[in-house]
Amino acid sequence: MSESILKVKNLNVELGREKVIEDLSFDLAEKEILVILGPNGAGKSVLLRTLLGLHAFKGEISWKKNIHIGYVPDDFDVPPDL
């Protein structure tokens, strides 16, 4: 079996008072393909942003060392102080 590049255990994400992700766990091994599928508002983008460290969360997210990740948001807002 391939080495895991991503491990997620008991992931919980809340935005305000809304629970967006509740108790999600999975492992992603090298050469595996992960599909994130769901209707609008299901939490797909929140999951991706959480995995990238852009949202606060409870649980565990661990990446293999020396992994490079690219992310291009569908909307790009420049903070006013830049």
Q: What is the CATH number of the domain that holds 50?
A: 3.40.50.300
Tell me what pLDDT residue 81 has: 77
- Domain membership of residue 44 (yes or no) is yes
15 occurs within a structural domain: yes
Residue 73 belongs to some domain of the structure: no
**Domain membership flag for residue 80:** no
- Domain range for 59: 4-63
Distance between CA atoms of 55 and 73, rounded to whole angstroms?
A: 14
- pLDDT value of residue 68: 87
**What confidence score (pLDDT) does residue 47 get?**
97
Residue 76 falls within a domain, yes or no? no
In a domain, 77, yes or no: no
Q: Please report, in angstroms and rounded to a whole number, the separation of the first and last CA atoms in the chain.
A: 46
Q: pLDDT truncated to tens, each residue of the chain (82 aa)?
A: 678 999 999 999 999 999 999 999 999 999 999 999 999 999 999 999 999 999 999 999 999 999 888 888 777 777 677 6
Residue 52 lies in a domain: yes
Helix, strand, coil percentages (3-state) for the chain, rounded to 5, are: 10, 35, 55
The per-residue pLDDT for 82 is: 64
CA atoms of 10 and 59, how far apart (whole Å)? 5
* Number of domains observed in the structure of the chain: 1
Residue 19, pLDDT score: 96
Reduced to 3 states (helix: H, G, I; strand: E, B; else coil), residue 46 is: helix
